[in-house]
Amino acid sequence: MHSNKSGEMRQESDSLGPMEVPMDRYYGAQTMRCVLNFRIGGEEERMPRQIVQAIGILKKAAAETNQEFGLDPKLSTAISNAADDVISGKLYDEGHFPLPIWQAGSGTQSNMNTNEVIGNRAIEMLGGRVGSKDPIHPNDHVNMSQSSNDTFPSAIHIAVASGLNKELRPAITALRDSMQSKTNEWKDIIKIGRTHVQDSVPMTLGQEFSGYTQQLTNGLARIEAVLPRIYQLALGGTAVGTGLNCRRGFPEKCIKRIAQLTGLPFVVAPNFFEALASRDAMVEVHGALNVLAVSLMKIANDIRLMGSGPRCGLGEVHLPENEPGSSIMPGKVNPTQCEALTMICAQVMGNHVAVSVGGANGNFELNVFKPLIVSNVLRSIKLLTDGCRSFNLNCVKGIKPNKDKLASNVNQSLSLAPALCPNIGCDKTTQIVKSAHQNGTTVKEEALKAGITEKDYNEWVRVDKMLGPS
């Protein structure tokens, strides 16, 4: 196919008439009209690769299923084999899927782009003439028992389910496990906690990191909770949910085959009208991504502040020194992994606004913001996956506690005073704290001045006994 000279054209036709199409491309007239009518964003705004591959999986499963309903086995096999070139990403990389995200809100053009590419590639495999629609027609054969309105939302679910299972969940799990390791390793390192960004009562560094571990555990649980909705496919609803032109039994058989091809437990959606008219499941899954972004933002900011310094900041932990941090200050090293992750989180939060607006739109039997929705969901999955991996490998795993600084903070803290309250009362304790703060002394020094014996003070103020209920 690609031995043809670049710039040569062939003629293909659709319902609007003939179109000139590049000779070295498998797509046809409908795709070419979209290329000409939606020149938006350039290469960076192409329909995501994952969606094209997901449509390829769907078309392969449909061709094999349609053979059971009378499709010529020779045609079915050719379509299935051509779909493999889509699934592998080979044809995407070679430029046969040029359409932008910004097209019909139903994704119709991308569905037809795939139909044309698979159809022409299958014709070529059979020794026919590309563009002839003989013996394989993009609508009659590749799109048999389907509609753009049920294939594109199904492809959305296939792509998102794959991204969640194969990319994001492993990345979050690895980061969570690293946090748990730090929780265990630092369970006996005492530090001063902070509330309102002010000194608070003692805790351990391990306890602090246990909070981060739980946040990530909760994030995984939210993704687990939404996955059953993502496994429900709209395939079989065709145009409006009635299943017009779809053979009885096709949805169950085809979706079972999709489950086999992907290794994921896809099932037929319980209600095709909901599955076509709304994208609530995508809003829900991005809600889980949004909460994860909120959690990661908090975690990264905490670690950034704990590592501030090296001499004039909090300096409670040492962050890995990965690269120089300044063009003017030699030796300066910045918390770059924290900064990258927090920027990612901000972007995901912005994506959530777009997904929410998209999910709220569309009319009657069809949501028409699907390309916008899925492109943002997939981008968030990719950003969070890469962000978690980078933050884990290049920051969290290399964090070291600054034990001297932590111990010094504990010794100097005014927040040891609550241990005195049960013994001398709140009013007297408050006066001791005020004196220590005004005089720049420790709580112990002022307590001894107030008449408390060193023996009593040492018995009452036991930092190791202040780490939980008494």
Question: Are 257 and 67 spatial neighbours (Cβ–Cβ below 8 Å)?
Answer: no
* Residue matched to tokens 């079915």: 76
CB atoms within 10 A of CB 1: 14
Q: How far is CA 246 from the centre of its chain?
A: 34
DSSP state of 5: P
3 is a catalytic site residue: no
Name, in order, each residue with C-beta under 8 angstroms of 114's C-beta and a sequence gap of 6 or more. Answer: 52, 55, 56, 59, 86, 97, 142
Give every CB contact of residue 392 below 8 A, 6+ residues apart in sequence. 171, 174, 175, 178
Say which of 326, 375, 380, 435 is annotated catalytic: 326
Is 326 among the catalytic positions? yes
Token digits of residue 74: 């020779």
User: Which of 2, 196, 327, 470 is an active site residue?
Assistant: 196
Q: Which of 314, 307, 328, 337 is nearest to 400 (CA)?
A: 307
Selection from 268, 228, 232, 266 nearest residue 250 by Cα = 268
Q: Which helix (DSSP H) or strand (DSSP E) does residue 260 occupy?
A: helix 250-262
Say if strands 198-204 and 232-233 run parallel, antiparallel, or are unpaired. Answer: unpaired
Q: Which residues are catalytic?
A: 196, 326
